[in-house]
Structure 1
Amino acid sequence: MSDRLTVLITGATAGFGAALARAYAASGDRLVLVGRRTERLEALKAELGGEVHVVTLDVRDRKAVEEAMAALPAPFDAVDVLINNAGLALGLNPAPSADLDDWDTMIDTNIKGVTYMTRAMLPGMVARDRGHIINLGSVAGTYPYPGGNVYGGTKAFVHQFSLNLRADLLGANVRVTSIEPGMADTEFSTVRFGGDKERAAKVYEGMTPMSADDIANVIHWVSKTPRHLNINVLELMPVMQAFNAFAVKRG
């Protein structure tokens, strides 16, 4: 594989995805940017210049994913790196009062969307004997917290799915990495709280969270390491985030 990569990024219109697009454009890589908001995709393409192909796509739609990925034009069809970045958390209610529609949306996006995109890209990577699947997990997949319920469950899936892909791909020069960030200041909390920016800002009050650029720079580095090296799992947190004590209900 040459130093120049063809990189497909889902959820490219904001947050980690947009930061990743800028990081790879800066290193001269070829980009396939996938997202649901056409105007944002086109604006990002115009900003970046270079070789950029945009695809308006909802990763929850299995048929649309299959058709869009099969229709990628050359040379964008020979994807070296798939970054499964599209994902979200919705709500923070405890399980007995959580919204089932929110649960469905998280499962459809964070689990099914990841599997659809991965399955669409893997055969070509195996045939070319090169490639890298990078999945965006979360520390929520390892460390539970009140209200994390289905979101944490979806990210635990991403972690285990990534490890199982490694088992299936033994013998092929296709790498798999699960990137698992903690608190990062993007649109994530605003989406989680239904657009309430004030409530979202309180999540990061009094501390310095990671930025989208922080995460993008780490992922960019991971994908540029030598091909014989696989980083299985990489967990990141801001210095001022750590692990809670066990919760105990007394009385």
Structure 2
Amino acid sequence: MSFAGKTVAITGAAGGIGQALCRHFAAAGASIAAIDKSESLPAFMAEDWAKHVKTAHVVADIGDRAAVAAAFAQLTKALGPTAILVNNAGFSSHPTFARTTPESWNHEVNGNLNSAYYCAHAVLDGMKQLGGGSIIAIGSVNGLGALGDPAYSAAKAGMISLTQSLALEYGRFNIRANIVLPGTVRTPLWKVRAAKDPAVLETLRKWYPLGRIVDPEDVAAAVAFLASDAAAAITGVALPVDCGLTAGNIVMTRELTLEDL
């Protein structure tokens, strides 16, 4: 699978999934346009993986629509129009409704959902000029049902609808839109939690039929497939990448049919 000659824009590029995405697409020959609000982004972009492809990066908060417009203008000047956009950036800070305030709700919906719109808006004209493109969002299984983090979950549900709207309206321009829905992903966040509670990942593992949680590279591989010509007829799809979590309740199943499992 080659992406040589194509510019792939990745938001949240300095995070666990973002880094896997950058490395995966770079290994396939893509030019990498990276955006993250973290000051650690320049150091990541200077690592060995980036030395054999064209790269550009901007430290920016994609929850700020003016900053998004400026960032993509800079990236386009450096690498040309974006052929593939991966709306990866996201966060959650309030795990329950009771701990969510109107201010935190607005902050999380803006940072997860509005930001995805701002970035899509910034690349669509360029994709039209290219004769097509692919927009892939990193959503969450939280967008399908209540699993905590209510503002984050509502935003991820909104991203599914946004993806479907893009697929419907822009298919005539050969622009495809899809969304990947990861379950628990083994990112640095979970390493921090595991340091506080060594059993946390084992507790999570029992809910997944594959007996493990998702690795960042699992997400990157799914995104690359959806961005590739192999998925040329796929648009408007919400694809769980969740080690089977949404297939059913494996813990309940084991309780009810213990003698068979």
Q: Under a length normalisation based on structure 2, what TM-score does the superposition of the two structures give?
A: 0.82
The number of equivalent residue pairs is: 238
Which of 224, 227, 236 lines up with 2:228 in the alignment? 224
Q: More displaced, 168-177 or 40-49? A: 40-49
- The answer to whether structure 1 residue 143 and structure 2 residue 148 are counterparts is no
Structure 1: which amino acid aligns with 2:201?
A: Y
Runs of 4+ in 1 over 6 A off after TM superposition: none
Q: Is the 8 A contact 1:89 1:188 kept in 2?
A: no
Correspondence list, 1:1-251, <5 A = 3-4=3-4, 5-47=6-48, 48-49=50-51, 50-74=53-77, 76-93=79-96, 95-145=97-147, 147-189=148-190, 198=195, 202-206=199-203, 207=205, 208-226=212-230, 228-231=232-235, 232-239=237-244, 243-244=248-249
CA–CA separation in structure 2 for the residues paired with 1:15 and 1:120: 24
**C-alpha distance after superposition, 1:159-183 (max 9, x if no partner):** 0110011111131111101111112
Change (3 A) 1:89 1:97: closer
**TM-score (norm. length: structure 1):** 0.85
Find the residue that maps to 1:103 and give its secondary structure.
helix
2:57 is aligned with what amino acid? V
Change (3 A) 1:188 1:174: farther
Pick the structure with more helix per residue.
Answer: 2
In structure 2, relative to structure 1, the CA distance for the partners of 1:74 and 1:25 (3 Å cut) is same
Task: State the 1:143 CA deviation.
Answer: 1.8
Please, which runs of 5 or more residues in structure 1 have no aligned partner? 246-251
CA contact (8 A) 1:173 1:227 kept: no
Secondary structure, counterpart of 1:135 in structure 2:
strand
Query: What CA deviation, in whole Å up to 9, does each residue of 1:53-83 have, x standing for no partner?
Result: 1111110111111122123354513111000
Offset from partner CA, 1:148-207 (integer Å, 9 cap, x none): 3222111100001100111111311111011111121113557xxxx6554576542252
C-alpha distance in 1 between matches for 2:132 and 2:231: 8
Q: For residue 168 of structure 1, what is the amino acid of its counterpart? A: E
Deviates more, 1:68-77 or 1:101-110: 68-77
Identity of aligned residues (%): 25
Pair 1:27–1:201, CA change in 2 (3 A): farther
Letter of the 1:52 counterpart:
T
The structure-2 alpha-carbon separation of the partners of 1:92 and 1:73, relative to structure 1 and needing over 3 Å to count, comes to closer
